[in-house]
Structure 1
Amino acid sequence: MSERRKLAAILAADVVGYSRLAGSDEDRTLARLRALRSDLIDPTIAVHTGRVVKRTGDGTLVEFRSVVDAVRCAIEVQNAMLVRNAGVPPDRRIEFRIGIHIGDIVEESDGDLMGDGINIAARLEGLAKPNGICLSGSAYEQVREKFKEQFVDLGEQTLKNIARPVRAYQMLSGAAFTEPEVARGRLVQQDKPSIAVLPFQNMSGDVEQQYLCDGLTEDLITELSRFRQMQVASRNSSSRFRGADVDMIRAGRELCVQYLVEGSVRRMGTRIRITAQLIDATTGNHVWAERYDSAQDEIFDIQDRVVRTIVGTLVGRMTAARTDLVLRKPPASLAAYECVLRGDALPMGTPEIEAEARHYFERAIELDPSYARAYALLSSAIEREWFLDMSGSTRLLDEAFEMARKAVALDENDHLCQLVMAWTQVDRGAYEVGEQHFAKAISLNPNHPVNHTDLAMFYNYRGETEKAIDGMLEAKRLDPFFNPSWYWGELAAVYFNARRYDDAIANMRRSSSLSFSKQVWFAASYAMAGKPDLAGDCVAGLLRRVPDFSTARYVAKEPLFRIEDRQHLAEGMRKAGLPE
């Protein structure tokens, strides 16, 4: 029989930028590559019982009996290459990309291998970062519990000449990053969103417009850097990708980022048009795009607003894309950051969901005890639990405050940590201290919609309802897609406090998931609007959830500054039929 089928693990490796290296000095490049093969690559393959099937110039195809052996071999080679490249100028480094797959292959009589299993490994190699390792879903399932390294789920990938999409995973290890990140003493946390802003293009044919392109690029990088939940490539790193014919997938690999921003500026008579796009660097697909028009003589006035809108929307789209990916993963495989994303994505409102969210935040802390944001979100979850507790105890509020204190101690420059500390202070009656933390959060990141909504809620409790409405709407102006489950309920509470009951009811109805506290305000809104039957329906649902509900104890927990606002809420609750 001239050929036979079998199951095997296949490793495909290729040199990054080989044509450029050979074009610069072919003899030296070939000599270095031969030395690497004899001193490092072939001995490492032999140690892990691999068989070199073929070499194609700068490429190598290797067969292993197990995926574990293939991955161990890949890690050792890439780690060794990172050490060897230390101190070598970037344009002279030999770096490998490696793809690994396990599947059905055909072995011919001369030992050569054929079939989709080979092609998939080769295509996965093309998805890997320089110095990186990319695995197929079938290979990942074999090794996921056997290595300390983490993996990034790249989702379903459409590979050339492969009929069905293949799920791909990027392995995260010290070798998966470029030397500059190592030199700075930190490795990029690729389990968190990472982004680079490419130089905006001047589409006007007017060199004087270039200053605007450069200014927009620099401002976007500066403002995106305020978001501590993501990694932002420096301008020096991304500036080399200037021009209209950038290969987005290659740019993403070389910059070690998951997302790219590109844009342009075009003058049309007396008008200026600015466009911006968010691109998934792993696929080259557009995630979001928008354009902004203004008069040329208004451009300096509008530039800040355009930057803020682009930044707010970009971060929202990145987070949404990442959350969608995490929600498709089995909970057992989630790392700390992904636990936080999954817990934060839950539609709060029932004790069962609150308990699930708390579980994810506690799990994140177990995985990473120094993760400030996990403590912050756990603080919020405990604080919501305190609102449901009608016993009069302050134990849960004290626990929430302790979690907030830990969050701020771990990272005082994370706006979310400042927000949760602000709320625990306000709920403890320390209004002025709370206001200072709200101000700190805004100063740290004025482009995050949540900072504006939380400050707006604070204004509402202080009785400044017009400022509160403006703040809630500003969040939507920053990110038109901003639509957390709690937003409409909080806006409705502002309208209730402003005595605009019909507006309150209309916004409550827009919410897909009302928290327990906002259901209380919903019942009060119906009652004050003269709709007792609808108020009664709300009350029945509330009492099923909290049979020992007390109007007096609940109103005491709402941090309304003005006595007339407390009396107003209590009146609405009593009219709705909630027990004293």
Structure 2
Amino acid sequence: MQFAFGDYRLDPERRELTLGAQVVTVGPQVFDLLLHLIGNRDRVVSKDELLQAVWGGRIVSESTITSHINAVRKAIGDKGDEQRLVRTIARKGFRFVGEVEQAGEARQPIGSGAPERAASPSTELRSVPLPPDKPAITVLPFQNLSGDPEQEYFADGVVEDIIAALSRIRWLFVIARNSSFAFKGRAVDVKEIGRELGVRYVLEGSVRKSGSKVRITGQLIDAATGTHLWAERFEGLLDDIFELQDRIAESVVGAIAPQLERAEIERAKRKPTESLDAYDYYLRGTAKLHSGTREAIEAALPLFYKAIELDPDFASAYGMAAWCHVWRKVNGWMVDHPQDITEGVRLARLAVELGRDDAVALTRAGHALGHFTGDLDGGIALIDRAVLLNPNLAPAWFLGGFLRAFNGEPASALEHFAHAARLSPLDPEMFRVQLGMSLAHFVAGDFDSAAAWAEKAAGNLPSLLVAAALMAASHALAGRPDEARQAMERLHALDPSMRIAKLRDWLPIHRPDDLARFADGLRLAGLLE
């Protein structure tokens, strides 16, 4: 079923909004908001209903709803003062008032086969990913058949390592872990997954762990046709876990491209550690990181330290521990600031020393060193090496984007954030990309976009201190004192001790003009010296 109004057409199945023959770029939540309003155009839709339908009942700010309504209006050529299509009903909600025709027939592809033009990184991230220029695959969460819910982290860790192994195949485009895991626990048709993530191949399977034995099954499916291309079962002891994962990756690659050189597969193999106990603690710590909350970071850090204790050469564990200290720093959670920074630098340098060919270690350590030492060029170089080692590692792209934004390179930063979003379009950690987009737009002097992206990030993770600061400064510099004051209240609630004098030590902003502009915006918003 499709909806047509004026020259626009809304296709729920393809998740496309088109104007004539052109695709209109909108974000996922903006698309869902428009679809819900059109689907319920016979009545007024309350804000509470929108929160449930679009944000899954999650609490978001009033300004977030307003910004998304404005984005809907902009996408369909409406204006807030005219309200020809989307009307605001005071104290009640919103209603779509345009004339809508419904069509059930399938739509022919747009144009004459010419490739769709990619959206600029400064616009909304696409809701339907562009097809990559190489074979694309997503690895879904494997079922935990161990009979013990506590083993869920182990099954997830197996999948993460299979993703990592596939990601090192340079001609293969691999969707990042967080977007694949958006489908966890959901019964979704593989064709729908293929459309939503823009992939041709889907790998799914199960893990059964019993004592020292483990069994992994996998099946590779062509998402376009639903055809099973390959299926196999792998059994062994826990001591063989990395070999089993390599065999799965090798079999998948062989099924996709039999002509692949054997040497490329061999280069993709790497054991992160010889200690299975260290690996277990590392997986537990990594599982904690994704929510980004203070409690999660405080729980993850000792797990990474335990992994390091069990294997003093575990480079990725050092990198992840260093990055935990970064996240504590930027959110104002450090207890002993000088000591924590010294420890973060120590961990990051060890990660680099031990992990010169470890993309995860180089990514996390490079970002940490950029933050803690101010050596942005050095941090960027480490992350760029990580991208060469693993071009499908989404964190390398968005953390590299952050350092470029801090270094005064907003255009390059925006490209990095857009690429990270393409690698992981359904990432529950999208707040990191959104925060980076805000920072890059701020450095570029686009305060309206900076405020809008900061609102999105804060809506997904309210504890983001940098998002509150960027909102306050951007609104103030854009001449919106009321919004700036509200953002400053949020900033004070998150960190009552924040002052202008702390900015230089808080964020590694390289260019004096960028730092001065940030300080001016916060000063206008009401932050004390």
User: TM-score if structure 2 supplies the norm length?
Assistant: 0.49
User: TM-score if structure 1 supplies the norm length?
Assistant: 0.45
Point out the structure with the larger strand share: 1
Q: Which has the higher contact order (CA 8 A, sep 6+)?
A: 2
Q: Which of these two proteins has the greater Rg computed from alpha carbons?
A: 1
